């Protein structure tokens, strides 16, 4: 019965399809995180996500979404790749490697969202850079791009004498929602609670967690809510998960993570941008730092692309009619056709939203072709939802 | 998986049918199907009075995950659609074999019923699919 050819197959659902075109998904073995048995005990529906056996939902994906918007939820994101860079010239190396400027990272612990580009200005991956010490920065990159990212980083690092070390011995739990910080802080030893409470947005600290477990606590996320992403040794990740669950943090799957980040206006690598797309065409201009004299990889191509005129733009769409915008649907505008990138049902809004890449210029009345029917949509600026609330005009 | 009512028959593509006392047929999707699809958020219903062929796409259900065709298990004329689903598609998640029915048919060829699976046969199909 499935148009998408996937949902009723035991291992089929949507995440596989979304990442099917990813160049590095050729693995035959599926990796498992330390929490795999915990997910199965909770009755999770598991899917292959970029080569990892991950929970898409434990029960109702929509309820998991609302739990994060209204209270606190947690995601196993141990499939994401932690990479530590060490060496005296690490900052110089990152000035070259990434398109945002790591000189914005002045205080130890501060984090920066950035793209890593190829020489043509296409996006190899998006990642977060944490500044820990002048000779020690930490990267968190996407799971599906792990192998090519590591190869690229190592190749560029050689000239700077920077050591590149993947840290597979760490797991990661994202604890997100308006009550997420309080629930996690409540588990910490009393003498570090104040330090964790004072941690600013987009910053991280290394502290002692419950029962003496070492934590790398970052006030970052991928949901549009406040919260932490917590890096913890694999040997303690199940223990931390269970403590959070007992504290009332709801397990949430990658399905809810996807609808939350889409509402929050956050890009998904492989779907909203890839190596064939420039950041100008992916609503990522805010992450590009064309500061004086910094020769980062891809800069020449980016500047030329901008000077030549950017022909396509990424916009937000809202559909007030019933139905669901999906990846790959055709978008009709006054200047020609575009396509839906990330699209789906937005539980906070009760209607469908999407990112679309369309020809630049005034788009006129925009419609989306859904099974041969032209359905009107509104072009809006995103995020669609921030801090639990729909943005005005959405 | 929940118990399957004994009076149902199934298509391999996960639709169920129930032959009512008056000979008309009610169609929905199985409890297994709704569980696999996840939360349903939209149902596109056929038009009352339209004629359908067994095996053809007749309705569409959309979950948070994917859009899926509902193939009519039997040929005939659509005589009713479940309008309640327009505002409450999640009814299929909560009661796939009852209030979550999708459309009703006046069937044109009773012999097509012989092509469908019994509840036991369908359960076996689902079990084999799960590994």
**Closest approach of B22 to chain A, Cα-based (Å):** 27
B67·A57 Cβ contact <8 A: no
Residues A137 and A159 both lie in one domain: yes
Chain A residues inside the 8 Å CB shell of B13: 1
Q: What is the model's pLDDT at position B3?
A: 75
Asked whether residue B129 is assigned to any structural domain, the reply reads no
Q: What is the model's pLDDT at position A28?
A: 53
The chain A residue lying nearest B34, using CA atoms, is A8
Q: B79 at the A interface (CB within 8 A)?
A: no
Asked whether residue A4 is assigned to any structural domain, the reply reads no
**How far apart are alpha carbons A208 and B6 in whole angstroms?**
58
Mutate to test the interface with B, among A7, A18, A319, A373 (most CBs of B within 10 A): A7
Coil, strand or helix: which one is A176? strand
Residues A330 and A354 both lie in one domain: yes
Q: Which residue has the tokens 């630049």?
A: A360
Asked whether residue A277 is assigned to any structural domain, the reply reads yes
Domain count, chain B: 1
CATH at residue A319:
2.40.30.110
List strands edge to edge, sheet with B51-52.
B8-10, B15-19, B25-29, B103-107, B76-81, B51-52
B42·A323 Cβ contact <8 A: yes
Asked whether residue A3 is assigned to any structural domain, the reply reads no
Give the H or E element holding residue A53.
strand A52-57
Contact by Cβ (8 Å): A22, A226: no
Q: What is the model's pLDDT at position A25?
A: 41
**Closest approach of A282 to chain B, Cα-based (Å):** 23
What's the sign of the alpha-carbon dihedral A320, A321, A324, A326? Answer: negative
Asked whether residue B103 is assigned to any structural domain, the reply reads yes
Closest CA to B78 of B106, B42, B100, B97: B106
CATH at residue A100:
3.30.70.1400
CATH at residue B46:
2.40.50.100
Q: What is the model's pLDDT at position A253?
A: 98
**Closest approach of A56 to chain B, Cα-based (Å):** 10
Contact by Cβ (8 Å): A164, A70: no
Residues A276 and A350 both lie in one domain: yes
Residues A160 and A185 both lie in one domain: no
Instruction: Name which of B13, B130, B131 is nearest A1 (Cβ-Cβ).
Output: B13
Asked whether residue B93 is assigned to any structural domain, the reply reads yes
Asked whether residue A234 is assigned to any structural domain, the reply reads yes
Range of the domain at A378: 265-390
pLDDT tens-digit readout, B15-68: 999 999 999 999 999 999 999 999 999 999 999 999 999 999 999 999 998 899
What's the sign of the alpha-carbon dihedral B72, B78, B82, B85? Answer: positive
Residues A233 and A378 both lie in one domain: no
Instruction: Report the helix count and the strand count for chain A, using DSSP H and E.
Output: 10, 21
Give the H or E element holding residue A74.
strand A73-76
pLDDT tens-digit readout, B53-100: 999 999 999 999 889 999 999 999 999 999 999 999 999 999 999 999
Q: A381 at the B interface (CB within 8 A)?
A: no
Asked whether residue B1 is assigned to any structural domain, the reply reads no
Band (pLDDT 50/70/90 cuts) for residue B130 is low
Range of the domain at B19: 9-110
Closest CA to A229 of A365, A73, A356, A362: A73
CATH at residue A179:
3.30.1360.120
**How far apart are alpha carbons B39 and A47 in whole angstroms?**
16
Asked whether residue B4 is assigned to any structural domain, the reply reads no
Asked whether residue A295 is assigned to any structural domain, the reply reads yes
Q: Is A63 exposed, middle or buried (0-12, 13-18, 19+ CB in 10 A)?
A: middle
The chain A residue lying nearest B93, using CA atoms, is A60
Asked whether residue B57 is assigned to any structural domain, the reply reads yes
Q: What is the model's pLDDT at position B128?
A: 85
Q: What is the model's pLDDT at position B2?
A: 56
Residues A270 and A350 both lie in one domain: yes
Asked whether residue A6 is assigned to any structural domain, the reply reads no
**3-state secondary structure string, B22-69?**
CCCEEEEECHHHHHHHCCEEEEECCCCCCEECCCCEEEEEEECCCEEE
Per-residue tens of pLDDT for chain A, all 394 residues: 433 333 333 222 222 233 333 333 444 578 999 999 999 999 999 999 988 999 999 999 999 999 999 999 999 999 999 999 999 999 999 999 999 999 999 999 999 999 999 999 999 999 999 999 999 999 999 999 999 999 999 999 999 999 999 999 999 999 999 999 999 999 999 999 999 999 999 999 999 999 999 999 999 999 999 999 999 999 999 999 999 999 999 999 999 999 999 999 999 999 999 999 999 999 999 999 999 889 999 999 999 999 999 999 999 999 999 999 999 999 999 999 999 999 999 999 999 999 999 999 999 999 999 999 999 999 999 999 988 999 988 8
Band (pLDDT 50/70/90 cuts) for residue B124 is very high
Asked whether residue B127 is assigned to any structural domain, the reply reads no
**Listed residues A236, A262, A288: the one ending a domain:** A262
Residues A35 and A142 both lie in one domain: no
B15·A1 Cβ contact <8 A: yes
Q: A310-319 in b/e burial notation, b at 16+ Cβ within 10 A? A: eebbbbbbbb
Q: A59 at the B interface (CB within 8 A)?
A: no
Chain A residues inside the 8 Å CB shell of B68: 1-4, 7-8
Residues A288 and A386 both lie in one domain: yes
**3-state secondary structure string, A219-273?**
CCCCCCCCEEEEEEEHHHHHHHHHHHHHCCCEECCHHHHHHHHHHCCCCCECCCE
Asked whether residue A238 is assigned to any structural domain, the reply reads yes
Tokens (6 digits) for A184:
């996690």
**How far apart are alpha carbons A143 and A283 in whole angstroms?**
22
**Listed residues A262, A286, A319: the one ending a domain:** A262
**How far apart are alpha carbons A369 and A371 in whole angstroms?**
6
Contact by Cβ (8 Å): B25, B105: yes
Q: B29 at the A interface (CB within 8 A)?
A: yes
Q: A9 at the B interface (CB within 8 A)?
A: yes
Distances (CA, A) of A160 to A47, A90, A99, A223: 40, 7, 17, 35
Residues A179 and A324 both lie in one domain: no
Residues A34 and A174 both lie in one domain: yes
Q: What is the model's pLDDT at position B6?
A: 86
Residues A177 and A313 both lie in one domain: no
Asked whether residue A8 is assigned to any structural domain, the reply reads no
**Listed residues A142, A166, A190: the one ending a domain:** A166
Residues A375 and A280 both lie in one domain: yes
Domain count, chain A: 3
Phi, psi values for residue B77, rounded to 5°: -115, 135
């Amino acid at each position: 019965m499935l148009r998408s050819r996937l949902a009723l197959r035991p291992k089929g659902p949507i995440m596989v399809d979304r990442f099917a075109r990813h160049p590095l998904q050729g693995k035959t073995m599926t990796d498992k995180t330390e929490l795999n048995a915990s997910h199965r005990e909770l009755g999770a529906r598991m899917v292959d996500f970029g080569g990892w056996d991950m929970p898409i939902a434990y029960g109702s994906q929509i309820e998991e979404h609302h739990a994060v918007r209204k209270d606190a939820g947690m995601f196993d994101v141990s499939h994401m790749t932690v990479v530590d860079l060490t060496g005296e010239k690490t900052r110089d190396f990152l000035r070259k490697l990434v398109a945002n400027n790591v000189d914005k990272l002045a205080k130890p612990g501060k984090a920066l969202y950035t793209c890593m580009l190829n020489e043509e200005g296409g996006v190899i991956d998006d990642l977060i850079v944490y500044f820990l010490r002048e000779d020690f920065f930490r990267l968190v990159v996407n799971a599906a791009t792990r192998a090519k990212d590591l190869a690229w980083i190592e190749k560029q690092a050689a000239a700077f004498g920077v050591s590149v070390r993947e840290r597979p011995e760490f797991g990661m739990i994202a604890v997100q929602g308006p009550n997420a910080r309080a629930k996690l802080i409540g588990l910490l030893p009393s003498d570090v609670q104040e330090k964790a409470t004072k941690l600013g947005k987009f910053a991280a600290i290394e502290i002692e967690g419950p029962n003496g477990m070492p934590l790398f606590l970052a006030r970052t996320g991928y949901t549009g809510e406040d919260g932490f992403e917590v890096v913890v040794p694999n040997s303690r990740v199940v223990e931390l998960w269970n403590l959070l669950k007992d504290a009332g943090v709801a397990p949430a799957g990658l399905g809810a993570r996807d609808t939350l980040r889409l509402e929050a206006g956050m890009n998904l690598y492989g779907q909203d941008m890839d190596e064939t797309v420039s950041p100008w065409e992916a609503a990522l201009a805010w992450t590009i730092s064309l500061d004086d004299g910094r020769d980062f990889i891809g800069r020449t191509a980016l500047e030329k692309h901008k000077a030549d005129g950017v022909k396509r733009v990424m916009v937000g769409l809202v559909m007030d009619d019933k139905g669901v915008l999906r990846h790959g649907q055709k978008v009709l505008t006054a200047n020609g056709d575009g396509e839906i990138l990330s699209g789906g049902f937005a539980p906070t809004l009760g209607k469908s939203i999407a990112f679309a890449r369309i020809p630049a210029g005034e788009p006129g009345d925009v419609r989306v072709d859904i099974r041969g029917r032209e359905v009107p949509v509104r072009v809006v600026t995103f995020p669609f939802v921030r801090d639990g609330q729909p943005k005005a005009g959405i | 998986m929940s118990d399957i009512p004994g009076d149902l028959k199934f298509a391999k593509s996960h639709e169920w049918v129930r032959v009512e006392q008056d000979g008309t047929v009610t169609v929905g999707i199985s409890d297994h199907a709704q569980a696999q699809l996840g939360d349903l958020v939209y149902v596109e219903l056929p038009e009352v009075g339209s004629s359908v062929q067994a095996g053809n796409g007749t309705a569409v259900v959309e979950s948070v995950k994917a859009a899926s065709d509902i193939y009519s298990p039997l040929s005939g004329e659509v005589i009713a659609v479940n309008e309640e689903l327009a505002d409450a598609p999640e009814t299929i998640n909560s009661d796939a074999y009852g209030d979550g029915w999708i459309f009703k048919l006046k069937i044109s060829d009773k012999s097509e019923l012989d092509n469908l699976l019994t509840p036991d046969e369908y359960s076996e199909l689902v079990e084999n699919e799960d590994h």
